[in-house]
Structure 1
Amino acid sequence: MSFLHRLTTGFAVSEVGTDRFGNTYYESKRDWLNYGRKRRYVMYAKAPDPTMVPPEWHCWLHHVTDQPLSEQKRYPWQMEHEPNRTGTALAYRPPGHDHAGGQRQVAAGDYEAWTPGG
């Protein structure tokens, strides 16, 4: 966070909380323009990456809930939040993808590839 931002945040916004990734969440003290609700935003702890906002805080940021939800795991089937891996080496690549071997399963006998003008 820049020095100027730190200096001016106390006047216009109040800090609501911090998540387990170190992101800090703010809410404006007054209603935002003519929307009739307060502006909410996040200051990322590291590089700005929207996929690092946990679902509990995502609900609050988008005015789905009035208060942030509890960050505790509530059910055994709930998995820990993971950032979006698209475009990285850890991205999901289905069988047959060029970067996953490039060999797909043989299609059914009625498959016929489309050719332009044919």
Structure 2
Amino acid sequence: MFERLLARLSGRQVGTDRFGNTYYESRQDYRAYGRKRRWVIYAGKAEPSSVPPEWHGWLHHTTDAPLPEGKRHPWMIEHRPNPTGTAAAYRPQGHDYVGGRRQRTAGDYEAWTPGS
């Protein structure tokens, strides 16, 4: 709530994306920065990977204006949040959370034990 108020006072709203994220640009150039600052206020949880490519380029000063949202093709998948650290994260065979068993290899190793 406080962030939105501060954003409205120090910047101007440039637009929103299809996820509901709101994008702002500072009203004045920052002296040390040499250009206007740009930032995003996320619609929900702060998830940087939810910034679409059209806005990503604008945020990083690659383009002067946000690109128009392109046509969505049937083969394009919708954004999924980064699953790292969750139950949906990738775990290869042999991972402790997947049973801890892996296939034996030809020159399988012997675990080191202290004092051996």
Q: Which TM-score band (shorter chain)?
A: 0.7 to 0.9
Question: Partner of 1:96 in structure 2?
Answer: 94
TM-score (norm 1): 0.76
2 CA distance for matches of 1:113 and 1:53? Answer: 47
Cα separation, partners in 2 of 1:114 and 1:17, compared to 1, 3 Å = same
Letter aligned with residue 63 of structure 1:
H
TM-score (norm 2): 0.77
Letter aligned with residue 90 of structure 1:
A
Cα separation, partners in 2 of 1:70 and 1:105, compared to 1, 3 Å = farther
Which is richer in strand?
1
Cα separation, partners in 2 of 1:111 and 1:41, compared to 1, 3 Å = same
Residue 110 in 1 paired to residue 101 in 2? no
Query: Aligned to 1:96, what secondary structure does the other structure show?
Result: coil
Q: How many aligned positions are there?
A: 115
Correspondence for 1:39 among 37, 40, 52: 37
Correspondence for 1:82 among 59, 75, 80: 80
Letter aligned with residue 69 of structure 2:
E
Cα separation, partners in 2 of 1:102 and 1:116, compared to 1, 3 Å = closer
Letter aligned with residue 36 of structure 1:
G
RMSD: 2.6
Unpaired stretches in structure 1, ≥5 consecutive residues: none
Unpaired stretches in structure 2, ≥5 consecutive residues: none
Whether the 8 Å contact between 2:4 and 2:41 is mirrored in structure 1 is no
Cα separation, partners in 2 of 1:78 and 1:5, compared to 1, 3 Å = closer
1 CA distance for matches of 2:75 and 2:62? Answer: 23
Whether the 8 Å contact between 2:54 and 2:66 is mirrored in structure 1 is yes
2 CA distance for matches of 1:77 and 1:5? Answer: 35
